[in-house]
Structure 1
């Protein structure tokens, strides 16, 4: 579907890292012609999902069908196979969000709600809409990226002001920490292991910053 195509257009990883499953043979063949790995299988089938060896590799399942019932069923089956399988599910009806959470979905996507918000922004704040649209579609020289902090990174324990994002020509937006997003935290906020830093800037600036900080070894004194 369209959401799957949009997802792949934004991905930087090789296509062979992903497998598309669909019960419609025509869509499977169309995906193959576009260069994707696609198989004619039912993603809601426990037998199908159990083929993915979650014990020895990281498995993430994207439930992007237009049916909330089917997406919940896929989520339940995936989590029954292994709790380590990450499930990102599309939610068509916002009133079913709790059901997805109970089923074990790690993240939920609300395309209809996002679309409505973007339409409202386009009408009321057209300049902001153009800026957001350019960034999200890759038409802007600026990129928004995530920096995943691990225990080996030298930035662990440092205050945000010590990282000096501005000197790297980056805009620091906030931190995702234990399920909560901290927008524009205090400069004295310290970076913790497993934080996800959200930053914006030119691609070359982002890559340089990562080389400086992600590869360093953090040694406790």
Structure 2
């Protein structure tokens, strides 16, 4: 979009210079014909316009001075008009008109969007955010400065603004005053801090979710005004470690700072197999049970007996969920002397 605007500004400047050149040529030709042919100003102007346009509506004069003026006007007139034709053709051939129309249509779509999300950065994380928002039926606008990402976004019909995400004008263009949240997920922590600062200044009450790669950046993002800070590397590392330690845990979601939601599979040999929901829940909430061969049961009754292969959906504090993970872990006996 910025490249197109720059090319259009250059084209408009060329047209202005062309218009000034034509006006100067007509004025000079009119004065010259008044002097050489003794015509009045209006008639001389009509003769000059006829010569520049090469229409041949008026007969040529036999005066040498007049003929020289006519030759000069013809050469300059044809050259000027040819320059204008080349300029217009270049704009059309380069496709800037089509790009401009596409950008204008995109901006109209963005202007008509409200209660949406603004994704700052369309890298790997940004694309995943966009896929999840699209899957949830949410509206969103992407801001990214990479033209290659714009082409990728165009293929899936994303509302895309090619600009620096930390630019005030880009966030305003994306409709930050109408947006529900800003998601800062570019690869640079410093850029995410700038995005957070800018977004918080433009919209003091908007929710801002920011990505951080370094622990030091998390504190900076919070001070900059981020509502939530997510560290993909820390989160994925913690989840990988939890799954490695507790293979029976098939899914983990942080619901809040004090609660998390997990899917735990009842495996053979675990302490919880054969017990009832009331026996194992402790301080956790058992919100669902997917039973092997018997479908899904929301909020299973306390007397429901758990069998091998059942999947428990539970929510609770880290301590209560750690207890459940241990309860459904397969017990192993290790003998150091025999290893």
Normalised-by-shorter TM-score class: 0.5 to 0.7
In structure 1, C-alpha distance between the alignment counterparts of 2:149 and 2:176, rounded to whole Å: 26
Aligned to 2:251: 132
In structure 1, C-alpha distance between the alignment counterparts of 2:247 and 2:231, rounded to whole Å: 22
In structure 2, C-alpha distance between the alignment counterparts of 1:53 and 1:40, rounded to whole Å: 14
Aligned to 2:137: 14
User: Structure 1 pair 91/59, CA: closer, same or farther in 2 (3 Å)?
Assistant: same
Q: Which structure would you say has the larger Rg?
A: 2
Aligned to 1:25: 147
Matched positions, count: 150
In structure 2, C-alpha distance between the alignment counterparts of 1:32 and 1:73, rounded to whole Å: 26
- Structure with larger RCO (C-alpha < 8 A, sep 6+): 1
Gap regions ≥5 residues in structure 1: 137-142, 145-163, 175-180, 185-221
82, 93, 97: which one pairs with 2:218? 97
The Cα RMSD (Å) is 3.3
Secondary structure of 1:118's match?
helix
| Comparing 71-80 and 109-118, the one that deviates more | 109-118
Q: How does 1:1-221 map to 2 (within 5 A)?
A: 1-11=123-133, 12-14=135-137, 17-55=139-177, 57-128=178-249, 131-132=250-251, 168-169=298-299, 173=315
Per-residue deviation, 1:43: 0.9
TM-score (norm 2): 0.39
TM-score (norm 1): 0.57
User: Structure 1 pair 94/52, CA: closer, same or farther in 2 (3 Å)?
Assistant: same
In structure 2, C-alpha distance between the alignment counterparts of 1:97 and 1:30, rounded to whole Å: 30
The answer to whether the 8 A contact 1:52-1:59 is kept is no
Gap regions ≥5 residues in structure 2: 1-122, 255-260, 263-285, 289-296, 301-312, 321-339
Point out the structure with the larger helix share: 2
